[in-house]
Amino acid sequence: MSRPGAFAITVGVIVGSGCGASTQADGAPFALGGGVAAGPTSGLWGDGSSTPTGMHIGCIRGRRLAVLITVTNRTKRTITVLGGGGPQRLAAVIERVAVQVRLASPPPNGDAVGDPGLRSWSARNTTPVPIPAGRSAWVQSNFLMRDCGSLRGDQASTLNRSITLAYSADGRRGTQRVAVAAARIILTRGPLHPELPINQVG
């Protein structure tokens, strides 16, 4: 069942494998789990296919894009995710303006379709989220596109190569860089005057 204000994620959701796509440091609490989701997307906006090495996205001024990955707490203690961020290339063109973290739903039983995790775009970061041992977290990066005209022709720029998660456990804080190849944004200039859905305006 869809949620009020949420993306219509049955259309325009990109799902890909993130297996083998991150470099984990010794003692890093999170491992990759699940796939990648993004939205909303449309071929009318210059979007292309999603591959294991990234998603092809058209840049349109004022467009909002959400990209979600899943990480799993592989330790035997609760890890609290404080937020996410890191350096951003071409931030004047497309900027990660907020990171939202939620405790992922438990895996479904049988053949039931699980909650894909993607939620409405927001410019606000979430508050810290405790992730119990063995459970997963949805990490959603919300991007805003601005100076798309500075992109040259059909030249593609690869962005969102990684995100650095800040966390706390047992009174100590740490960070972990997570790189998911399928969540990379391969950005090209989109059409000049596209029609965007209502939740893309503003």
Q: What is the pLDDT of residue 201?
A: 37
The model's pTM is 0.83
Pick out the chain residues at pLDDT < 50. Answer: 1-26, 201-202
Q: Cα–Cα distances in Å, from 116 out to 111, 191, 195?
A: 14, 29, 26
Domain ranges of the chain: 29-108+115-189
Q: What is the pLDDT of residue 202?
A: 32
**pLDDT by residue (tens digit) across 56-74?**
999 999 999 999 999 999 9
Is the CATH number 2.60.40 carried by domain 29-108+115-189? yes
**pLDDT by residue (tens digit) across 118-152?**
999 999 999 999 999 999 999 999 999 999 999 98
Radius of gyration of the chain (CA): 17
Instruction: In whole angstroms, give the CA distance from residue 62 to residue 147.
Output: 9
Residues 6+ apart with CB under 8 A from 102: 117, 119, 126, 129, 137, 138, 140
Instruction: In whole angstroms, give the CA distance from residue 67 to residue 55.
Output: 10
CB 135 within 8 Å of CB 129: no
